[in-house]
Amino acid sequence: MTSAVEVTAQRLRDRGERVTPARLAVVEVLAGTEEHLSAEQIGERAEELRPGIHRATVYRALDALGEFGLVTHVHLGRAGTTYHLAGDLAPRHLHLRCSECGTVYDAPGDILEAARKKVQRELGFQLAPEQVALVGVCVECQS
């Protein structure tokens, strides 16, 4: 089985982009967790994996990988922005954030598919719900 790091390296080469230690460290961090990590947390973990990588370099790597469609980010409101592997490098999922306790839950990526298709069909607008957190109240806070 080919790892996300190997796939990313090959895709970067195919695009004629540089395969840098920082870019690979970012992918390795994201592939190794199901947590919702901020850029700062990714930077910390990337430095642990590859000592000597500066945090600013990791931030630039996140931006570049985002431009190449290999990493995506999600705005979680007050909780900030988190990053994930994109496309076929990771399972597609949505984020649900409880407005009471702030907990972020993952939801299946196709759960809003009917709404996405209806908006496209009726309004000609393409939704990107993976880019935001849907806000509501979790079952624990409802009781």
**H/E element, 129:** none
* CA 129 to chain CA centroid, nearest Å: 12
Give strand ranges (E) for 5-111. Answer: 71-75, 81-85, 93-98, 104-108
Q: Which SS3 state, helix, strand or coil, does residue 115 take?
A: helix
Which SS3 state, helix, strand or coil, does residue 26 take?
helix
User: Is 48 within any annotated ligand binding site?
Assistant: no
From 23, 42, 45, select the one nearest 82 (Cα to Cα). Answer: 42
Q: Is there a binding annotation on residue 17?
A: no
Annotated binding residue at 67? no
Q: Is 130 annotated as a binding residue?
A: no
Binding residues for Zn(2+): 98, 101, 138, 141
Binding residues: 98, 101, 113, 138, 141
Binding residues for Fe cation: 113
